[in-house]
Amino acid sequence: MNALPATQPAAETCPPMTGARWVVRTLEEIGVHRIYGYPGGAIMPVYDALTGSKLEHILVRHEQAASFAADAQARLTGKAGVCLATSGPGATNLLTGIANAFLDSVPMVVLTGQVPSGLMGTDAFQEVDVFGMSMPVVKHSIIIRDPARIPELLREAFHIAESGRPGPVLVDLPKDVLQAEATSLPLSGPRQEAGPPSASHPPVDAAAALLAQAKRPVLYIGGGVALGGAVDALRDFMDRTGIVAVATLKGIGCAHPDAENYLGMLGMHGTRAANMAVQGSDLLMCVGARFDDRATGRPDSFAPDARIIHIDGDPAEIGKLRHVDAAIAGDISDALQRIEPGYLEIDDWRGTCRGWAAEHAFDYDAPGNGVYAPALLKQLSEAAGDDFIAACDVGQHQMWVAQHCRFARPEAHLTSAGLGAMGYGLPAGIGAAMQCPDAKVVTVTGDGSIMMNIQELATARRYGVPVRILLLDNASLGLVRQWQEYFFDQNFSEIDLYDNPDFAEVARSFGVEAFTIHSRDEVPGAIERLLNATGPILAHCLIDPRENVWPLVPPGKSNAEMMED
């Protein structure tokens, strides 16, 4: 465990309090305003201490939703989201959300109750080793065994979660520790954080030289740009150099959506122009990305003729999957500001890439009178403007959002990227709308995904959360069905959701405003009604069950082998 800075000032000794009250007081002093949770036996002392505190507690209806809502809040603020649950099933229900935060580098502090210390290891009622179970998907885990150390260790948990490459930290709290009294010296005052190291001169100079020599360079943007606070530096770099750019799923929103040389998302469901540019490049400048398989396709055929510049805040990512010609570990913003190749002399290459973008632009004039989901999503995001925030579930609709929605900033695109967790959208939308009540927060979900956490309609109703839910219903598990259609000889196994309920009626039974649309001429009114809502609202949108996501790179194939409709 990292030691606290020796210069951290300490407050005067406080009178004895229970460990649970130290938990609440420390959270208040750290600056936490909102926590998401669900009570139970082992964590009950903390709930007792919450009464009368400054903390706003949001009672979700499933612990997984608490972790997803805290995750969304953290993505929007850059500060650790906080969720809590009891021992046993409460703790295990948080694990999916912990893994989600870990794979997407989201700062989170997860508080779990635990059976009394003397019963740990005895298979007591509602005892599980959540410390051990969570080890592969946390940045750090702590079991607090002394109530006097609660302020110190909680502050350490937030420091670890938020510093360096962010991630979740688990704090397990035995019930006897929460009930015992302690006199403590709570640490106070702001923490002096050390930022990432500046980029050193030799690799910066090497990167500038490689860029200046390149004839077909491409900027490959990942989620690390936003994590490193480098969005402004990235956009300035794009303007200074005129470089062609593409983004990963998590990198969407880092480049300005209207940038002249930005080609959109690359990879399995990336744009044809983006994939063609990467495959034809002679230099790939990877910034804050990790060469994930969904972006690269078959690794040995990804950008086969390109030399690689890799800039990342996490040194462990550099060279992990691809040989690098210039490696820059450290402050991404600093590196981008110091790489100065000038405006690149690549007019022919820019022209070629813009030609691909024009030739392969999406066609929104689909046949028939049914609702065409890509067009609906494009119109919705444009109508919402820069206030648009999408909290997206997982499936075909997730890819359509990435392809067709306009995002002014990366924080506006909330999606389960690394884990691909269905059920993320509604709780994340609640967390986002509570954090940004004046924004146009839209949960985009499918008929499969929404059933994973549909109980959170009760949470949205209870707190009057202004989350707008766009439910695209194709009566199937659409992305699985698409894969079965093309890669499993149309053996459609367990993807038919013909017995879906009337989702508008379900929402209304929770007390949530809801309506259904079937045809294209209903779309403008639906968008207006969604965006003008002041409380939770659900638009149940029926779409063609045969509609697929295009383009598609088949599994195990090169990004050059894109399938089209």
pLDDT in tens, 208-225: 999 999 999 999 999 999
The CA distance from 196 to 326, in Å, is 19
* 373-542 topology per CATH: Rossmann fold (3.40.50)
Maximum Cα interatomic distance, the chain, rounded to a whole number of Å: 73
- Which pLDDT band, with edges at 50, 70 and 90, does 430 fall under? very high
The amino acid sitting at 180 is A
The CA distance from 441 to 506, in Å, is 21
The CA distance from 347 to 345, in Å, is 6
Angle at 308 between CA 304 and CA 314, to 5 degrees: 130
Q: Which of 457, 560, 437, 562 is nearest to 506 (CA)?
A: 457
Mean pLDDT (the chain) is: 93
| pLDDT above 80 for 50 | yes
Contact predicate 269/399, CB 8 Å: yes
Domain boundaries along the sequence of the chain: 17-182, 201-359, 373-542
**Partners of 440 in beta bridges:** 388
Confidence (pLDDT) at 7 = 40
The amino acid sitting at 548 is N
| pLDDT above 80 for 194 | no
How crowded is residue 438: how many other Cβ atoms within 10 Å of its Cβ?
8
Confidence (pLDDT) at 185 = 60
| pLDDT above 60 for 191 | no
Cis peptide before 551 (omega within 30 of 0): yes
Confidence (pLDDT) at 490 = 94
* 17-182 topology per CATH: Rossmann fold (3.40.50)
| pLDDT above 60 for 199 | no
pTM: 0.94
Q: Which of 138, 186, 179, 149 is nearest to 25 (CA)?
A: 186
Confidence (pLDDT) at 190 = 43
- Which pLDDT band, with edges at 50, 70 and 90, does 116 fall under? very high
Stretch 117-139: mean pLDDT: 94
Confidence (pLDDT) at 193 = 54
| pLDDT above 70 for 189 | no
Confidence (pLDDT) at 11 = 47
H/E stretch holding 35: strand 34-37
- Which pLDDT band, with edges at 50, 70 and 90, does 565 fall under? confident
- Which pLDDT band, with edges at 50, 70 and 90, does 556 fall under? confident
- Which pLDDT band, with edges at 50, 70 and 90, does 297 fall under? confident
Residues 6 or more apart from 237 whose CB is under 8 A from it? 219, 243, 336, 337, 339
Q: For the chain, what percent of residues have pLDDT higher than 70? A: 94
Helix, strand, coil percent content, the chain, rounded in steps of 5: 40, 20, 40
Stretch 389-410: mean pLDDT: 97
Which has more confidence, 199 or 513? Answer: 513
For residue 79, the Cα-to-chain-centroid distance in whole angstroms is 13
- Which pLDDT band, with edges at 50, 70 and 90, does 10 fall under? very low
Stretch 20-35: mean pLDDT: 96
How crowded is residue 497: how many other Cβ atoms within 10 Å of its Cβ?
18
Confidence (pLDDT) at 562 = 92
C-alpha dist (Å) from residue 275 to 224, 267, 302, 430, 466? 20, 7, 9, 34, 37
Q: Is the dihedral of CA 373, 405, 107, 468 positive or negative?
A: negative
Structure tokens at 563: 């399938």
The amino acid sitting at 150 is I
Q: Parallel, antiparallel, or unpaired for β 413-415 and 440-446?
A: unpaired
E-only strand ranges, 324-368: 326-329
The CA distance from 426 to 72, in Å, is 10
The CA distance from 117 to 423, in Å, is 34
* φ, ψ of residue 22 in degrees (nearest 5): -65, -35
Mind giving me the DSSP string for 291-324? --HHHHSSGGGSSTT-EEEEEES-GGGTTSSS--
Contact predicate 536/530, CB 8 Å: no
| pLDDT above 70 for 530 | yes
Structure tokens at 239: 């303007």
Confidence (pLDDT) at 195 = 58
The CA distance from 250 to 74, in Å, is 15
Confidence (pLDDT) at 478 = 93
* φ, ψ of residue 484 in degrees (nearest 5): -65, -35
Contact predicate 99/167, CB 8 Å: no
| pLDDT above 70 for 196 | no
Which stretches of 410-535 are DSSP H helices? 425-435, 457-463, 478-487, 503-509, 523-532
- Which pLDDT band, with edges at 50, 70 and 90, does 72 fall under? very high
Confidence (pLDDT) at 6 = 38
513: buried, middle or exposed (CB in 10 Å: 19+, 13-18, 0-12)?
middle
Question: 């004046």: which residue's tokens?
Answer: 438
- Which pLDDT band, with edges at 50, 70 and 90, does 8 fall under? very low
Structure tokens at 118: 């003397």
Domain 201-359 of CATH type 3.40.50.1220: yes
The CA distance from 289 to 278, in Å, is 14
Stretch 159-182: mean pLDDT: 96
How crowded is residue 62: how many other Cβ atoms within 10 Å of its Cβ?
20
H/E stretch holding 392: strand 388-392
How crowded is residue 153: how many other Cβ atoms within 10 Å of its Cβ?
17
Q: For the chain, what percent of residues have pLDDT higher than 90? A: 89
Are 17-182 and 201-359 in the same CATH fold? yes
Residues 6 or more apart from 376 whose CB is under 8 A from it? 470, 523, 527, 541
- 164 φψ region: left (φ > 0), alpha (ψ -120 to 50), beta (else): left
pLDDT digits (tens, 9 = 90+) for 232-279: 999 999 999 999 999 999 999 999 999 999 999 999 999 999 999 999
Confidence (pLDDT) at 1 = 37
How many residues belong to the chain? 565
| pLDDT above 70 for 486 | yes
Q: Which of 225, 243, 247 is nearest to 334 (CA)?
A: 225
C-alpha dist (Å) from residue 355 to 268, 285, 358? 21, 22, 5
Stretch 278-302: mean pLDDT: 93
The CA distance from 270 to 62, in Å, is 34
